[in-house]
Structure 1
Amino acid sequence: MVMVRDEIEAGARAILSALDGVHQIPRFSTREPAPDLDEAYAIAAAVVAQRVARGERPVGWKVGFTNRTIWDEYDVHAPIWGPIYDSGIAPAEDGVAQCSAALFCEPRIEPEIALRLAHVPDPQMDDRALLACVDGIAHGFEVVQSLFADWRFAASDTVAGCALHGCYRHGPFTPVDDADADAWCEKLSRFRIALGCDGVAIDEGGAENILGGPLQVLRHLVQGLADNPHGWELRPGDIISTGTVTRAFPVKAGQRWESTITGLPLSGLILDIR
């Protein structure tokens, strides 16, 4: 790698300062030489280490840019990933969750499906075997943010910038019964989610948008972490956010976002933006 350790640590401190101060920073990709993806993941790993050192605990992973229909919009053409922390994830209560837009830079909302791991998968597993590693499936909203102005960035910026993760709100995890595994595999490849705001329909998307479904996203993440040199690994109990099935939309205080799911035994959610 071209970047030395001091540069990596300085990049991580800049990311943390931006997160804490809710302010944006210049894109790493405008530097000469610009960091490559390996160097961006090194910065991301340093951010993880610094967040853990101050008491935050990773509880899972978000996989971003799994939705191939938005690749051209953001000029990022492959999935990325980064940790979800205990400080930013919370369950909905009676189908309603809240988050504050003021905590994030240019926040946007993404409706997603989350998987909870019982066992650590192998990337060579077929869908049925991957599903056997999952003990619960939930619907959630991820609020994403851009530490780079106007949502303009290169892939390396998104990786260094915490994979654009802001916070995650989710409904209850529905258990996966082995007797229903074949039905689950079928449904996970065909479901759809409709997204609305304040009673107005906004967008709709389905499993085909996110690499063909959540199990394909899980396989991609497993392979990606296996190839990652920073010691990142999946653990039983991890929650995997598998990416937005619709486009991502800006949010602001006072809005109420709603989702409706068809094809999965999961309830929609309401997210109130404070």
Structure 2
Amino acid sequence: MLMSSQALRYAHQLLDARAQSKVIPRISESEPLSVEDAYEIAHNIRNIRVAQGEQPIGRKIGFVVRKNWERYGIIDDARIPTWAPMYDTTVRFAEDNHGLQSLTGAVQPRIEPEIVFKLGKTPAPNASLEELADCLEWMAHGFEIVVCPFPKWEFTVADSIAAFGLHGTLIVGEPHVLSSASRHHLPQILASASVSLSCSTESASVLRAAGFCNDEMDSPLHALWHLHQLLQKQTRFRKLQAGEIITTGTWTDACPIEPGQTWTTAFSGVTLPGLTVSFV
């Protein structure tokens, strides 16, 4: 278990690496780092960012949809769900589902297509999956730009939690307000959906990835339920609240991105428009 002074020191190291856009050795190289230690570092980071004027407005969820996480360079068990705060400085909305995003300062950036929810009501502590769905105001498609301060994208799950959950920026498309019927059938709707991810440059356009939820138990809604359950046990963090924006994990492998590229998605099986973002 890290001492509080150590957790604070690592929090400042990670914030400095982010501010300076630099790569640093992963924390777990220098000493054992548990998931509990990582959330203590994350809590320190949150307090520092709030003191500097940033406002937490939601959460990002990671490592929920089952896939070959070893491709990311993860060197331990990635089957546990994780989360990190998102801020008013890291979440933006695309106009007409088109966006322009600078990659200046982004360290080893990659792109992830995700489903984003907004909570219209605060869920009860013991909310079921159905009751949690009833708390949703809207869902949208989003691109999360994930970044990694560790060499070659190699880290443990605890390292990733400490390092902002790898969250860089969330770009949210047009919200789709959910009717009562849509909320009731949301797990089934999302379980039958799929997404394609394409990259265009001046010379070519290429399909880079495609993804889907494996079943209802692997859906974005189930990821939200896992987060809600986890937060009941984490007394240092605020529970989910009405108004929060939650991005629920990537549907494809995270693809490296560069300036000069335009990335586009298309959905099938769910009434959501695709999203197009150009990077500079």
* TM-score class, shorter: over 0.9
Contact 1:63–1:242 under 8 Å retained in 2:
yes
**For structure 1, which runs of at least 5 residues remain unmatched after alignment?**
none
Structure 1 length as normaliser, TM-score?
A: 0.95
> Does residue 231 in structure 1 map to residue 237 in structure 2?
yes
Q: Deviations over 1:152-201 (max 9, x none)?
A: 01111001000000000011211111133334332122211110001211
**Quick one: which of 46, 49, 68 aligns to 2:47?**
49
Q: Which residue of 2 aligns with 1:213?
A: 219
Letter in 1 for 2:229: Q
Query: Residue 70 of structure 1: CA displacement?
Result: 2.8
SS of equivalent to 1:83: strand
Q: Which residue of 2 aligns with 1:14?
A: 13
SS of equivalent to 1:68: coil
> Does residue 262 in structure 1 map to residue 260 in structure 2?
no
Query: How is 1:236-247 mapped onto 2 (pairs within 5 angstroms)?
Result: 236-247=242-253
Query: How is 1:29-44 mapped onto 2 (pairs within 5 angstroms)?
Result: 29-32=28-31, 34-44=32-42
Contact 1:66–1:209 under 8 Å retained in 2:
no
SS of equivalent to 2:249: coil
Q: Which residue of 2 aligns with 1:154?
A: 156
**Quick one: which of 262, 268, 279 aligns to 1:273?**
279
Query: Residue 19 of structure 1: CA displacement?
Result: 1.0
Contact 1:128–1:185 under 8 Å retained in 2:
no
Q: Deviations over 1:93-140 (max 9, x none)?
A: 121112222221100000000010012224644433221010100000
Aligned residues: 272
Distance of aligned partners of 1:71 and 1:123 in 2 relative to their CA distance in 1, 3 Å threshold: farther
Contact 1:117–1:236 under 8 Å retained in 2:
yes
Contact 1:61–1:83 under 8 Å retained in 2:
yes
Q: Which residue of 1 aligns with 2:210?
A: 204
SS of equivalent to 1:237: coil
Q: Which residue of 2 aligns with 1:69?
A: 67
SS of equivalent to 1:29: helix
Rounded Cα–Cα distance in structure 2 between residues aligned with 1:17 and 1:52: 16
Q: Which residue of 2 aligns with 1:109?
A: 111
SS of equivalent to 1:267: coil
Q: Which residue of 2 aligns with 1:182?
A: 184
Rounded Cα–Cα distance in structure 1 between residues aligned with 2:217 and 2:130: 17
> Does residue 170 in structure 1 map to residue 172 in structure 2?
yes
Distance of aligned partners of 1:15 and 1:50 in 2 relative to their CA distance in 1, 3 Å threshold: same
Query: Residue 210 of structure 1: CA displacement?
Result: 9.2
Contact 1:61–1:240 under 8 Å retained in 2:
yes
Distance of aligned partners of 1:210 and 1:86 in 2 relative to their CA distance in 1, 3 Å threshold: farther
SS of equivalent to 1:220: helix
Structure 2 length as normaliser, TM-score?
A: 0.93
Contact 2:112–2:252 under 8 Å retained in 1:
yes
Rounded Cα–Cα distance in structure 2 between residues aligned with 1:209 and 1:15: 36
**For structure 2, which runs of at least 5 residues remain unmatched after alignment?**
none
Distance of aligned partners of 1:101 and 1:210 in 2 relative to their CA distance in 1, 3 Å threshold: farther
SS of equivalent to 2:227: helix
The more displaced of 51-60 and 232-241 is 232-241
Distance of aligned partners of 1:205 and 1:122 in 2 relative to their CA distance in 1, 3 Å threshold: farther
Rounded Cα–Cα distance in structure 1 between residues aligned with 2:253 and 2:45: 27
SS of equivalent to 1:208: coil
Distance of aligned partners of 1:67 and 1:184 in 2 relative to their CA distance in 1, 3 Å threshold: closer
Rounded Cα–Cα distance in structure 1 between residues aligned with 2:162 and 2:180: 38
Aligned residues: CA RMSD: 1.6
The more displaced of 21-30 and 109-118 is 21-30
